[in-house]
Amino acid sequence: MSGFLKRLPMAAGVAMLFSVGATADPLPPDATYRPLPTLPFSTVKAADEAQKAQVLQRQQTLLTERYDTADHPIPNVMMSGGRKPVQAGVRVKLPAGVTWDSLAALSPDQIRERDLLPAGFMPLPHVKQPTGGQVFPNQQIEQMRTLESRNLQRFDVDFDLQDRFTPEFPPPIFLTTHPELGDVSRGQVLSIRNFYETMNGIITPVQMEGLRLLLTPFPQEEFNQTEDRKSAEPSMGVACLDCHANFHTNAAFHLTPDVRPQSARFRLDTTSLRGLFNQQIHGSKRSLRSVEDFTEFEQRTAYFNGDHVSATRKGVNLPDRPNQVAMMAQMQNIIDFPPAPKLDPMGRLDPSKATEQELAGERVFMGKGRCAECHTPQTAFMDNNMHDLKLERFYKIGKTVNDLVMLPDGPIKTFTLRGIKDSPPYLHDGRLMTLADTVEFFNLVLGVKLTQEEKDALVAYMLTL
Amino acid sequence: MRCIIAAAPIAAVLLSLPAAAQQAGNPAAMAPGTAQTSPGTPAPHEMNQQDRLFIELATAGGLAEVDFGTLVGKKAGSNAVKGFAARMVEDHAKANQKLEALAKAGQVPQPKDLDAEHKDLRGQLDKASGADFERLYILGQIRDHQKTAQLLEWEIGSGQDPALKDFAMETLPTVLDHLRAAQGIASQLTGQASLATAAPVSGAATPKP
C-alpha cells in the first residue's frame, strides 16, 4: 500500500503528505501506555525514600514562592461544621513592581510579554509529576490507620499543602432526604467500620449497600499488592471516600488520569460530591454524563492513572452496573449542599437576612463581575457547561515547573459555588488558596476591572452561598 | 558501568543549561545497573532507555529541520515561509549542537542521515514547486513540531539524565512557538481560520493574520 502510494506521481502534494503520515513512525512505544517497573520493589523503595526529603523540599520551595501561607483567618467565619476558620486575603504573591490594580490595567499581551502573571495563577504541579498518583492528607491517613488499620501513606511523597488551606475534617454530611436532621456525620469520618451504625435508620437498604461499596477499599495504582506500588506493605487499596471524605473532599489530589497521556497530565484536587444530584456533567475535563458512568470509571481506570492495561494486573474491581454501580450512585445522589440560610429558593440573597456588603457583592456577581453568566444562581451556581478561560493569553506556554509542563488548560467545567467556603483549595488543580484569590484570578481573566470595595463585597457574598 | 570523562567543550555547553531537573523521575523505571551518586540519583550522563531513544528521535527531527529549512531558502517564494524556514535553520542548528554534546557525554550514537519518513518527504519536496511546495513544507512542519513537542514532554516526564531533561525543558517553549508560527502561516496559505491556540507567537517570523 505505502509502496504503491510512493510510486504515484507528485500531483497533489498535500494529499501525499497525509498518506505518508498514516505509515509514519509513531512516537516512543511508552508515550501512551505506562511502562512497567524495571527494578525490584526493594530497590525502588530505597531510592524513593532516599529522595523523599528533597522531593518535598522542592515542592515547599515552589509553594512559598507562590503563596503567602500565613495563618490569617477571616474573623468569625467558620466552615459549615463550625470547627475550621476560613482563611482571609489574597495569598497569591505578586511579581515585583506591580499591584493588583496595575496588573489588571495591563492587557493580556502585555502581561505575557513582560512575564507578569503571578506564578500562583499558573497550573500547580503534583509533588512528583513523573510518578503522579493519589496523595492523601495526613488526617485521612491517621484516621484510616486508627479505624481500619489501613495504610494510606506513600514512601515517595507526602501531602504538600498546609492544613489551613484544606477543608474542615471530618466534613459535615447533609442529606437531601433529611433536611430536618442537619449534619448526620456525628463528627466522625465515615469508614467501613462505623458506617452502618451511623446511617442505620437514616438511609434505605439500597443506599446502605451503595455506601458500603463506596467505603470498601479496592486496588489502586499506588496502593495494591504488586511491586508496582508506592505503599510500604502490600496494600488493601483505596476507598472512594478516602478522597471524598464524608462525601465532601479532604483535598486529596491526583494526576488527571485519562484526559492526556502521562507526560502532560495535570494535578486534580478532589471535588466535593455535595449537590451531585444537580450536575449534568462530571469531571473537570471528562464531561461524563452520569454519576453512574463516573462511579464505574473511577475504579476501572481513574484509580490506575488512566491505564486500563496496568489496572488488570493489579486486580481492578469492575463494579456491576445494574446493581452495584446503581446503588453507589443512589447513595451519592442524596448528598446535599450545606444549608445557605440567606438564599431564597431561586438562589438569590434574601434582603431581609443579608448585609449591605453581601448584597453589594451579589450585584457585582450578577452585573459588572459577570460571574453569574457561568455560575447561574438558579442552577446551583453552575451552567452545566465547560468553558475555556484561555489563561494562556497571559503566559508563554511550554515552560516546565517542577517537571510539569505549563500547557493551556482548555475547557474546564464550571464548578458550583454552593458551599464554596468549605472547599479550599480552589480551581481544578487547587492552585488558589482563598476565595479572595479566586476574585483576583477572575478579575484578570475576565478583564472586569473591579475596585477593592467590589472585590471585598464579592468575597463576603461567596461566604453566604 | 560506562566510565565517562566529559571533554572540556562539552562541559561548557552543558554548563549553559539551567539546572532545573536535579531529581530523577520515578525510580521504578531506572535501568538496572545505573550508576548513582546517591540512591535514586543517577550519576551525571547515566541515561535510561528513554533518554537514548529521545536522542535518536530528536536528532532525526533536528536534522530534517535544518535540511528542509535550507531547501526552502532556495525554493520558496513568499517571505513568510522563507522567514520561518530561516528561523528553523537557526534555532534547530543551535539545538542540534547542544544535543550532540549531550549525546557524546552519554556515549549515545546519533543518526547521521534523515530517517525514512523524512527522506520520503524530502523526495516530495524536491519534486514540488510554487504554492504546492510551500503547503507541503508548512503542513509537514506542523506535524513535525506537534510530534517534537510530544517527544520533549515525554522526555521531561520519562527521561533520567538531568542534563538531557533540562535540554528538553529549554527547547519545548521554542518548539511550541514554532508550531504556532507554522499554524499561522498555514492559515495564511490556505485562507483558513487560525489553527493556533489563544497565545500568540513571539518572534520576527510571526505572520499577521
Domain locations along chain B: 58-192
User: Which one has a higher pLDDT value, A272 or A301?
Assistant: A272
For residue A174, being part of any structural domain is answered with yes
Q: What pLDDT is stored for residue B29 in this prediction?
A: 80
My answer on whether A207 and A256 are in the same domain is: yes
- Residue of A33, A400, A401, A402 to mutate, interface with B, max B Cβ within 10 Å: A400
Q: What pLDDT is stored for residue B135 in this prediction?
A: 92
- Residue of B153, B165, B180 to mutate, interface with A, max A Cβ within 10 Å: B153
Alpha-carbon distance values, A319 to A282, A296, B143 (Å): 19, 6, 41
The verdict on whether omega for the bond into residue A257 sits within 30 degrees of 0, i.e. cis, is no
Of A82, A78, A71, A112, nearest to A95 (Cα)? A112
Q: Which residues on A lie below 8 Å from B179 (Cβ)?
A: none
pLDDT band, residue B24 (cuts 50/70/90): low
Over residues A189-213, the mean pLDDT reads 96
pLDDT band, residue B196 (cuts 50/70/90): low
My answer on whether A312 and A207 are in the same domain is: yes
Question: What's the number of domains chain A is made of?
Answer: 2
For residue A62, being part of any structural domain is answered with no
Strand partners, A387: A412
My answer on whether A199 and A278 are in the same domain is: yes
Per-residue pLDDT for A30 more than 70? yes
Q: What pLDDT is stored for residue A312 in this prediction?
A: 86
Per-residue pLDDT for A159 more than 90? yes
Q: Which residues on A lie below 8 Å from B19 (Cβ)?
A: none
My answer on whether A369 and A390 are in the same domain is: yes
Per-residue pLDDT for A356 more than 50? yes
Q: Does B18 touch chain A (CB under 8 A)?
A: no
Range of the structural domain that residue A155 is part of: 132-332
What does pTM read for this prediction? 0.90
pLDDT band, residue A181 (cuts 50/70/90): very high
My answer on whether A144 and A264 are in the same domain is: yes
CATH code, A90 = 1.10.760
CB contacts under 8 A, B 56-85 vs A, are 57
Q: What pLDDT is stored for residue B18 in this prediction?
A: 41
My answer on whether A84 and A194 are in the same domain is: no
For residue A68, being part of any structural domain is answered with no
Q: Which residues on A lie below 8 Å from B50 (Cβ)?
A: 28, 30
Per-residue pLDDT for A270 more than 90? yes
Give the gap in angstroms from C-alpha B172 to the nearest C-alpha of chain A: 6
List, for residues A93-129, the tens digit of each pLDDT value. 999 999 999 999 999 999 999 999 999 999 999 999 8
For residue A24, being part of any structural domain is answered with no
Phi, psi of A13 (to 5 degrees): -55, -40
Burial class (CB in 10 A: 0-12, 13-18, 19+), A107: exposed
Per-residue pLDDT for A214 more than 70? yes
Strand partners, B141: none
ipTM for the assembly? 0.86
DSSP A434: S
Q: Which amino acid is at A318?
A: L
What's the CA gap between A257 and A56, in Å, rounded? Answer: 22
My answer on whether A82 and A153 are in the same domain is: no
At A410, list the grid cell.
Answer: 482548555
Of A388, A391, A443, A394, nearest to A109 (Cα)? A394
Q: What pLDDT is stored for residue A259 in this prediction?
A: 65
* Cβ proximity of A376 and A383 under 8 Å: yes
Q: What pLDDT is stored for residue B188 in this prediction?
A: 86
Of A11, A441, A334, A16, nearest to B136 (Cα)? A16
Give the domain-ending residue among A332, A364, A399.
A332
Give the domain-ending residue among A332, A358, A374.
A332
Q: Which amino acid is at A451?
A: T
pLDDT band, residue A164 (cuts 50/70/90): very high
Q: How many CB atoms lie within 10 A of CB B8?
A: 6
My answer on whether A257 and A394 are in the same domain is: no
My answer on whether A140 and A273 are in the same domain is: yes
Give the gap in angstroms from C-alpha B200 to the nearest C-alpha of chain A: 8
Of A188, A252, A178, nearest to A220 (Cα)? A252
Q: Does domain B58-192 have CATH number 1.20.1260.10?
A: yes
Q: What pLDDT is stored for residue A136 in this prediction?
A: 97
For residue A42, being part of any structural domain is answered with no
Q: What's the first-to-final CA gap in chain B, in angstroms?
A: 54
At a CB cut-off of 8 Å and minimum separation 6, what does B128 contact? Answer: A10, A13, B136
Cβ–Cβ below 8 Å for B199 and A21: no
Q: Which residues on A lie below 8 Å from B68 (Cβ)?
A: none
For residue A7, being part of any structural domain is answered with no
My answer on whether A207 and A319 are in the same domain is: yes
What's the CA gap between A398 and B177, in Å, rounded? Answer: 9
My answer on whether A115 and A259 are in the same domain is: no
Grid cell 560506562 — which residue? B2
CB contacts under 8 A, B 175-204 vs A, are 175-177, 197-200, 202
For residue A37, being part of any structural domain is answered with no
For residue A150, being part of any structural domain is answered with yes
My answer on whether A415 and A316 are in the same domain is: no
pLDDT band, residue B22 (cuts 50/70/90): low
